[in-house]
Amino acid sequence: MSTEDQSFEQDPTTPSQVTVDPTGSEPPAESGSEAEATSSAADPADAAAADQQSLARELESLRAEHESLKGQYMRMAADFDNFRKRAQRDQEDQRLQVTCSTLTEILPVVDNFDRARQQLNPQGEEAQALHRSYQNLYKQLVDVFKQLGVAPMRVEGEAFDPNLHEAVMREPSDEHPEDVVTAELQRGYQLEGRVLRHALVKVSMGPGPAATAVDGESA
């Protein structure tokens, strides 16, 4: 065997031996993967925080819109309630005006019945029967007025009130002090606190000059 053959047999592993450097390129590759993983983990957290902020802003906007709409609704409800009450008052006032206008036209008829009742004094049986029928009609008319809320004024002996009375005459009186109603010339009527017709009255001026002079002499 030659020397070359022996050398070949003594180093059979020379072509297959590979030296591995522990500080090669593989570790840097692994470090890059870890950075990408860290970045990927941080992005969802930032996105969630951004979504929360967006939802908070949207919620605040919806709350402000809700308060605005609630305020508009409350104002509309108050306006409608005021309109309803005003419409009811206007309707009631209109009803009273129509009623007053109608009853004012009927009052002279009531006056005529009342005058006839006071002046007539039937003597015969037939006249008395007619008078009773006449009085029944008058009573029915008065009852209708009462049902409608019409009330006659009682003025004699009361202090003169221009809101209720219309003074036709003023005369001295030893029985009544000044500005007191002494007689009713035409009956006044009220409807639910509203003057339907003023009462025509005579008003006292107090004691006359003669009475005053007598009082002065006595003093």
Instruction: Give the pLDDT score at 38.
Output: 52
What is the reported pLDDT for 182? 93
Cβ neighbourhood burial of 203 (10 Å; 0-12, 13-18, 19+)? buried
pLDDT of residue 133: 81
Characterize the bridge pairing of strands 194-197 and 165-171: unpaired
- Nearest one of 177, 164, 111 to 203, comparing CA atoms: 177
Architecture of the domain spanning 150-209: Roll (2.30)
For residue 195, give both structure tokens: 């003057």
Measured torsion, CA atoms of residues 76, 80, 83, 88, in degrees rounded to the nearest 10: -170
| Three-class secondary structure assignment of 43-109 | HHHHHHHHHHHHHHHHHHHHHHHHHHHHHHHHHHHHHHHHHHHHHHHHHHHHHHHHHHHHHHHHHHH
Query: For residues 169 and 203, is the Cβ–Cβ distance under 8 A?
Result: yes
Q: Which distant-in-sequence residues (6+ apart) come within 8 Å of 176 by Cβ? A: 157, 182, 204, 206
pLDDT at 137: 85
Q: Are strands 165-171 and 199-204 parallel, antiparallel or unpaired?
A: parallel
In the chain, domain spans: 150-209
Reading the block at residue 37, the tokens are 């993983």
On whether the CB atoms of residues 98 and 74 are closer than 8 A, the answer is no
Can you read off the two tokens belonging to residue 65? Answer: 């819109």
Q: What is the pLDDT along the chain (219 residues), one digit of tens a residue?
A: 444 444 444 444 444 444 444 444 454 444 555 545 555 555 777 788 888 888 888 888 899 989 999 989 999 999 999 999 999 989 888 888 888 888 888 898 888 888 877 777 777 777 778 778 878 888 888 898 888 889 999 899 899 999 999 999 999 988 889 999 999 999 999 998 889 999 999 999 988 664 443 344 433
